[in-house]
Amino acid sequence: MQLKIKFFYYKDTDISSIIKFVRTRHSVFQPVRLECIASMSSLESAMERAIRRSENGSRIRDVGILILMFLCGCDQIQDAIRKCGISVGDRSFALIYEDDRDMEAFIVQFPEVSEIKASIPADHSDDMIFERMSYVDSMLD
């Protein structure tokens, strides 16, 4: 499984329509609040852990939800969605996706959403992020 990332900004889009669109996808298509991404290395680690978990028989098979759980360091799905999923009032987000056709359909359906270059550091020295990811990993066993 190869995941890709794009960053977006939106001003007047109804967030519920984006969430409805996401729910119709059959491959990984997960929006993530930008504030939840401490660094590209933490995002990549969350993605790798989520893929590994889903491929090795995790009780949670949705890679997008697993990514949110790893990013926020919590073992409850609803907490992860609330903390790192997009919601009303957010204006920018990362979109982690697997299938280019899903991204093309997203861009067609939401022309008011603009792709941006996010200024996310390549690395972040806070080991607590990775400790929390390990905690979530252990709770999923």
Q: Domain count of the chain?
A: 1
* pLDDT tens readout for residues 12-40: 767 888 989 999 999 999 999 999 998 99
**Domain extent at residue 12:** 4-139
* pLDDT tens readout for residues 40-64: 999 999 999 999 998 887 788 899 9
Residue 125: per-residue pLDDT: 65
Residue 87: per-residue pLDDT: 85
Residues 6+ apart with CB under 8 A from 96: 3, 4, 5, 28, 29, 30, 31, 32, 47, 64, 67
CATH code assigned at 128: 3.30.2380.10
Residue 100: per-residue pLDDT: 97
Instruction: Output the pTM of the full model.
Output: 0.89
